[in-house]
């Protein structure tokens, strides 16, 4: 049986260090907003190349609070439009509507599943105030092009980096391109805690200060509240756990990149569309993708999933229903987004855990190649 993702075996790599870190927190007697959090914030900011990282309770809060901070700073107002790709995970859209901003759901680029600069430009109206590029599946959006558009139209850029820790273009990492970025450390992400956790990265001092207050009841000084804030703190235990795992994130990402290269080179089946054609891209040196997910497309997706499952290969669909077709977003259900619909009908994520063995990778490749359509 090849599990889609075996979190226990991933975390077993660090078992003793994780236990030591937890013991250190228990023994410290300090469990919220202490040394582990401030150390992790310093280390994660250094990893991303940004001036600040601000720990919060989860990835959704990272996005919600950043947009909220821009409202507090007068940079966004209720009713402003935010452009985001329609095929994202619902969290990206929830962050926008939670702030009474208006999501403008656009079709993605069919090759990358990410924002397409031409489609973004076409969606800009006088009410557009921000772009929210989601680096979906682990691949950085075309940030140089998106920043050029944002500069030309005076728009804020909030990266959703929940799936793309460590992805880079020209040596510059996810989280260091936009005005701010939201990260999730949900256990299954490329850098995962053992519970919920998230962070915002930015180079903007004023935004960082505002976020530090918002996550902690709107308070910068104890018992003095300057905003109607929330409780969204990254606790000491999760911060200590993340500090154990952060130093090997680059290695874990490299493992994923190796497996993706083997899949791209090995899977040859006319019924299966790969994320990249290995013959046209230097897949072994492609650093813009950290392969949180390896997503293929197949017209007979459900029979492919059934066939792989019978062979003991577990796959997942990310995601079966796009946000605008969810009951929660009934007001957007009439949007015509045919590419997004096709994507959701045809995508399938193959296992790409960094713990997969060579034998398991070969087995997945062989199974895909023998699928009869
Ligand atoms: C996981 C994820 C989030 C939300 O992260 P949580 O920590 O679960 O709140 C946001 N956006 C995307 C694209 C995600 O994959």
What's the whole-number mean pLDDT along residues 82-91?
98
Per-residue pLDDT band at 298 (split at 50, 70, 90): very high
| Residue 280 pLDDT exceeds 90 | no
Q: What b/e readout covers 68-94, taking b as 16+ CB neighbours within 10 angstroms?
A: bbbbbeebbeeebbbbbbbbbbbbbbb
pLDDT in tens, 14-44: 999 999 999 999 999 999 999 999 999 999 9
Cα gap 126→63, rounded to integer Å: 23
Mean pLDDT of the chain: 97
| Residue 360 pLDDT exceeds 80 | yes
Give the residues surrounding ligand 1 with Cβ less than 6 Å away: 58-60, 88-89, 91-92, 134, 160, 162-163, 184, 186, 196, 198
| Residue 241 pLDDT exceeds 90 | yes
Cα gap 309→301, rounded to integer Å: 12
Q: What share of the chain is helix, strand, coil (3-state, %, to 5)?
A: 45, 15, 40
Please tell me the predicted confidence (pLDDT) of residue 203.
98
Please tell me the predicted confidence (pLDDT) of residue 281.
86
pLDDT in tens, 92-120: 999 999 999 999 999 999 999 999 999 99
Contact status, residue 76 vs residue 68, Cβ threshold 8 Å:
no
pLDDT in tens, 316-353: 999 999 999 999 999 999 999 999 999 999 999 999 99
Please tell me the predicted confidence (pLDDT) of residue 165.
98
Mutate to test the pocket of ligand 1, among 5, 59, 137, 182 (most ligand atoms within 8 A of CB): 59
Would you give the distance in Å from CA 120 to the centre of its chain? Answer: 20
User: What's the 189 CA to ligand 1 centre distance in angstroms?
Assistant: 9
Which residues does residue 294 pair with via DSSP β-bridges, in sequence order?
350
pLDDT in tens, 169-203: 999 999 999 999 999 999 999 999 999 999 999 99
Would you give the distance in Å from CA 114 to the centre of its chain? Answer: 12
What's the whole-number mean pLDDT along residues 358-367?
98
Please tell me the predicted confidence (pLDDT) of residue 276.
87
Cα gap 249→245, rounded to integer Å: 7
Share of the chain above pLDDT 70, in %: 100
| Residue 278 pLDDT exceeds 80 | no
Cis peptide before 176 (omega within 30 of 0): no
Residue with CA nearest ligand 1 atom 6: 59
Please tell me the predicted confidence (pLDDT) of residue 284.
86
| Residue 279 pLDDT exceeds 90 | no
């Amino acid at each position: 049986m090849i599990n889609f993702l075996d979190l226990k075996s991933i975390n077993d790599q660090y078992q003793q260090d994780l236990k030591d870190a937890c013991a250190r927190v228990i023994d410290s007697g300090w469990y919220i907003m202490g040394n582990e959090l401030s150390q992790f914030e310093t280390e994660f900011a250094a990893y991303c190349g940004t001036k600040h990282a601000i720990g919060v309770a989860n990835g959704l809060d990272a996005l919600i609070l950043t947009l909220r901070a821009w409202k507090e700073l007068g940079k966004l107002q209720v009713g402003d439009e935010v452009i985001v790709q329609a095929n994202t995970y619902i969290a990206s859209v929830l962050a926008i509507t939670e702030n009474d901003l208006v999501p403008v759901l656009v079709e993605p680029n069919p090759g990358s599943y990410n924002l397409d600069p031409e489609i973004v430009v076409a969606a800009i109206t006088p009410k557009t105030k921000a772009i929210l590029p989601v680096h979906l599946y682990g691949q950085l959006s075309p940030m140089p092009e998106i920043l050029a558009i944002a500069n030309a139209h005076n728009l804020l850029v909030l990266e959703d980096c929940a799936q793309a820790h460590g992805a880079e273009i020209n040596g510059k990492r996810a989280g260091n391109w936009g005005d701010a970025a939201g990260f999730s450390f949900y256990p299954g992400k490329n850098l995962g805690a053992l519970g919920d956790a998230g962070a915002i990265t930015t180079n903007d001092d004023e935004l960082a200060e505002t976020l530090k207050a918002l996550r902690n009841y709107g308070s910068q000084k104890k018992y003095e509240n300057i905003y109607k804030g929330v409780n969204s703190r990254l606790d000491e235990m999760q911060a200590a756990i993340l500090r154990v795992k952060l130093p090997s994130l680059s290695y874990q990402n490299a493992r994923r990149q190796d497996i993706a290269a083997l899949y791209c080179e090995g899977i040859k089946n006319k019924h299966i569309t790969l994320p990249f054609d290995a013959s046209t891209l230097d897949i072994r040196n492609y650093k813009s993708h950290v392969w949180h997910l390896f997503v293929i497309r197949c017209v007979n997706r459900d029979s492919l999933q059934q066939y792989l499952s019978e062979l003991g290969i577990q796959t997942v669909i990310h995601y079966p229903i796009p946000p605008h077709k969810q009951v929660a977003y009934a007001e957007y259900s009439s949007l015509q987004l045919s590419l997004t619909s096709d994507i959701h009908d045809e995508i399938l994520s193959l296992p790409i855990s960094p713990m997969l063995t060579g034998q398991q990778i070969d087995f997945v490749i062989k199974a895909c190649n023998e699928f009869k359509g």
